[in-house]
Structures are given as C-alpha cells and as structure tokens.
Amino acid sequence: MELIRVNTSMNLNKFLILNRRLHLLKSKAYINGDWVNAQSNKTFSVLDPSTDKPIGTVPDMDATDAKRAVDAAAEAFKTWRNTTAKERSYVLRRWFGICKENRDNVAAILTAEAGKPLSESLGEFDYGNAFLEFFADTARHINGEIVSSPWPNKQILITRQPLGVVSVITPWNFPYAMITRKVGALMAAGCTCVIKPSEDTPLTALVAAQLAEQAGVPKGVINVITSSRENAAAVGKVMCQDPNVGCVSFTGSTFVGKILYGLAASGVKRVALELGGNAPFIVFPSADLEYTVDQALLAKFRNAGQACVGANRFLIHKDVFDEFVTIFKNKISAKVEIGGKYAKQFGTNFYEATLLVGVKPDMKIYSQEIFGPVAVCSKFNTEDEALQIANNTRSGLASYVFTKDLGQAFRMSRELEFGMVAINDGILSAPEPPFGGIKESGIGREGSRHGVEEYTDIKYTLFSGLAKGM
C-alpha cells in the first residue's frame, strides 16, 4: 500500500473565516531580529494541501543564509546565556501569553498550511503553547549539585551550562508544537537557536517568531530560516556542522534523523533526535472494549493518523478479536464506509479511514510507520506472544496496553521496548512527562525537566585548597 498525505476538508464558511485570520502571515524569514529575504532573493510557494493552491511565498534560503543565521544566534548567545533564570522565565511567559491571545490566528494558519481541521489545529496550539508555560516555570529550577567530597579540604560543585546555538529542524505534522517543545526548553536553559521548518509548513514557524518578537525575545535568540526541499540538505549541513552549533535538535523521520546524526558526529555535537514510531496497541481480554475502542480511535486517527505516537499495530487477544474489530468498524462506519480508497468527494488529496485485518508480519504495512488513517489489526494468543510481536521492530517510541490486570500492566510496562507506555489510554503527550523513544526512534527526551537538561552540559568544578592557611 502506498502512503499518502491526508487532509481533512473544511466548508466554505470556515475557509472564509480562516482567510480573515491570516493577517499574521509573513513572507520573509527572521534573522537577528530582522525580517529578511534569501541572499539569492529566491522564494517558494506554500500550498494549501487540500487544494494545492498557494497561500503564501517565503524565502528559499541556502547554506549562506543558514550560516548568517547561525552567526546571529552565536552572537546572541553571548548575552542570553548570562541572563538570569528569572529573566528567561519572564520572557517565556510573555511569549506564552501573547501566543495565547493569538490562539485563533495561529490555528488558522496551521490549518491553512498543514491541512488539519481547525479543531485539531486549536488542539495542537493548546498542547504546543503549554510547553512555553511549562518551560517558563522550569527555567527557574535548573539547579546544580554539591556532592559529598572524598577529600577533606576539597569541594565538588556540579553546574549546568547552556550548550550554545541549537539547530532546530522540525516536521510538517505538528508545525507549532514541535517548535515550542524545543525552543521553550532551550531558551529556558540559556541557549539560542536557528529553526528550519518543513517546506510544507514554514508559516506557522514565522508566526511563532513574530509573536516571540512582540514578547520581547531579544534579537538573535530565535532565528527562522525557510528553505525549499531542494535546499534542505545544504542548509542541514551547515546546521549540523558549523563550529558555532552546539546541538542539533531534530524531529522527523528516522531516515533523515540518521543523516543528520552522521553529519553532527563529525563535530561530536550533542543531538536530540525525535524520530518515527511503530506503536503497538495491545488489548487483553480483561479490557473494557467500548472504552478501549474509543481510545483506539484517538490513538489511530488523531491528526489523520499522522502522528509519531499514532497506534500503528493493533494486537488483539484472540478471545476478544472479533468483538474488538466489530466495535472498531462500527465506530468508524458511523461516518464513512470502511475505507481502502481515496475520498473522492473531497478531491484526490483525501483518504478514507480504513481498517485492515489479516495482516501478516512480513507485509510492508506491518513493519513501516503507516502515517495515515489506516488501522491494522492482528490476533495474539498469550502475553508473551503479544510482547514478542510488539517488540519486533527497530522503532521504540510509544506503545499502548489495555488491561485491568494490574500485574500484567506492570509486566508490560517493564518488558515493552519503548520509551513511552500508556496503560489504558490512547493519548500520552503533555509538557510534564518526558517524551521520547529508544532504539531507532531517537535519542534524548523533550518536555519535563529532562527536556531542558538536554540543552545543558554538566560542568564539574573542584574547589581545592580549602584547608586553613593554604
């Protein structure tokens, strides 16, 4: 099965309302506090994915522009790193507040360029903005340690210092939240950044920068460079290898993540990689099936199935398989037939919600990230078999388990080879817990205090000669 980009339709009225809300659209990139063109003066169009019609143009930047942005961020770092935690917290909270005032405007732009329904854009906005609020608080709690010294006249001090310039490269599926989740954390830590959004969704990033400017984020702390897919590799090379870059923070596919990891390795740079998933959604006989299917719908069809934590493989115990599939099918049927084809009434950019059974592990759809509204259900017999199937992937991002057996829940949490395990829930992301994967799903965590610590280096200082008279 070929994967396709899925969009959800909106009616004409909604479209007109959206158009009135697009006044924050920018057509220039943002470097060192200035709204600028590419040095080549080239541009590219941003398309509405439901119609393929242009909604704006932005600069098509290349390696030279990327270097300029990194230099600006490096210069700003000299000052930003020495601001107090209280000042950084204050700026982040102002940014959070101004974004909140512009909630509807940001969501309209999100819908226009990412193609998601307005309700989902508002949801992404609230989720993404919560990171700015959370990191405004966290900024004031990045503490060091004084640990017990093995020497009588020496003191050991451990401090956390910002990494420097962070290169932020983000995907199209959550164009706002993937920026705030990184930039909120790195700014709290005292770092500055250059953001390269996807060619498909640069406008949301530019709006975020515009609101940051209004909030008083100093020039150079946040820079946004826009580039077409053609220039992505050249821009990425600078962002991964420039000596002034301290960290590469990437969210996107495992394929591109590995390329960037390789580039960053030559400078032994810190990386934070949030990559693709292949989440199992495991249902045991003790689960409440009606509730479980409701959670399955959230875990599978949120963002039209285009979420890294989206359920990718439904593993259902044989005793409840038929009942689960029937309830699942009926809940989808409520709206459309059981898919498997383009939703032609909306054009060729839309695909129907689809449920597949009888899928075998050697099929492509079983092992790769589906990233679309297609649910795949398979049977299992025992807990061990469910674990074996679930763990049989190189991905290790999110996983879901539905059971009322407490011991089983604990065993699954311990044995599942995934960075995140949701027991009896289909949604698990929030600013407070650490988000991230193991195996080929990434390195590092976002959100929580761990998400801020990703952007710091630990420094050990030994104070010696403390004895009197020395």
| Number of chain residues interacting with ligand NAP (CB under 6 A) | 31
State how far the alpha carbon of 128 is from the alpha carbons of 80, 122, 136, in Å: 23, 10, 13
Cβ of residue 307: shortest distance to ligand NAP, in angstroms?
7
β-bridge mates for residue 423, sequence order = 401
With respect to ligand NAP, which residue has the nearer C-beta, 163 or 240?
240
208 binds ligand NAP (CB under 6 A): no
With respect to ligand NAP, which residue has the nearer C-beta, 190 or 396?
396
Cβ of residue 424: shortest distance to ligand NAP, in angstroms?
22
First to last CA, the chain: 75
The residue range among 59-67, 215-223, 230-238, 449-457 that interacts with ligand NAP, by the rule CB under 6 A, is 230-238
* Cα–Cα nearest to 173, from 110, 226, 130, 227: 110
With respect to ligand NAP, which residue has the nearer C-beta, 199 or 454?
199
Angle at which helix 229-241 crosses helix 254-265, to 10 degrees, equals 40
Which of 174, 176, 366, 455 binds ligand NAP (CB under 6 A)? It is 174
With respect to ligand NAP, which residue has the nearer C-beta, 184 or 276?
276
- The DSSP line for 377-421 is EEEE-SHHHHHHHHH-SS--SEEEEE-S-HHHHHHHHHH--SSEE
With respect to ligand NAP, which residue has the nearer C-beta, 170 or 210?
170
* Cα–Cα nearest to 424, from 278, 289, 279: 289
Work out the angle at residue 194's Cα, subtended by the Cα atoms of residues 43 and 172, and round it to the nearest 5 degrees. Answer: 60
Residue 117 amino acid letter = P
The residue range among 83-91, 102-110, 195-203, 284-292 that interacts with ligand NAP, by the rule CB under 6 A, is 195-203
Which of 198, 204, 378, 456 binds ligand NAP (CB under 6 A)? It is 198
Half-sphere exposure of 397 (CA within 13 A, CB side): 27
Helix (H, G, I), strand (E, B) or coil at 173: coil
Contact residues for 83 (Cβ-Cβ < 8 A; gap 6+): 190
Cβ of residue 303: shortest distance to ligand NAP, in angstroms?
9
**75 — phi, psi (to 5°)?**
-65, -45
Site string for ligand NAP, 313-332 (x = CB under 6 A): --------------------
With respect to ligand NAP, which residue has the nearer C-beta, 51 or 253?
253
Cβ of residue 206: shortest distance to ligand NAP, in angstroms?
14
Residues 245-264 binding ligand NAP (CB under 6 A) are 251-253, 256, 259
Length of the chain: 470
Q: Is 308 a catalytic residue?
A: yes
Cβ of residue 225: shortest distance to ligand NAP, in angstroms?
11
Which of 275, 386, 387, 401 binds ligand NAP (CB under 6 A)? It is 275
Which of 369, 440, 453, 454 binds ligand NAP (CB under 6 A)? It is 369
229 binds ligand NAP (CB under 6 A): yes
Residue 468 amino acid letter = K
* Cα–Cα nearest to 282, from 395, 410, 383, 418: 383
With respect to ligand NAP, which residue has the nearer C-beta, 332 or 398?
398
Cβ of residue 68: shortest distance to ligand NAP, in angstroms?
17
For the chain, what percentages of helix, strand and coil (3-state, to nearest 5) are there? 40, 20, 35
Q: Compute how many other C-beta atoms are within 10 angstroms of the C-beta atom of residue 339.
A: 18
172 binds ligand NAP (CB under 6 A): yes
What CA–CA distance (Å, rounded) separates 102 from 190? 26
Which position has the token pair 């990191």?
A: 135
The active-site residue out of 274, 440, 446, 453 is 274
What CA–CA distance (Å, rounded) separates 249 from 170? 9
277 binds ligand NAP (CB under 6 A): yes
| DSSP for residue 289 | H
Which of 233, 336, 363, 430 binds ligand NAP (CB under 6 A)? It is 233
With respect to ligand NAP, which residue has the nearer C-beta, 352 or 369?
369
The residue range among 16-24, 47-55, 121-129, 169-177 that interacts with ligand NAP, by the rule CB under 6 A, is 169-177
199 binds ligand NAP (CB under 6 A): yes
444 binds ligand NAP (CB under 6 A): no
| DSSP for residue 351 | B
The active-site residue out of 191, 193, 240, 308 is 308
Q: Which residues are catalytic?
A: 274, 308
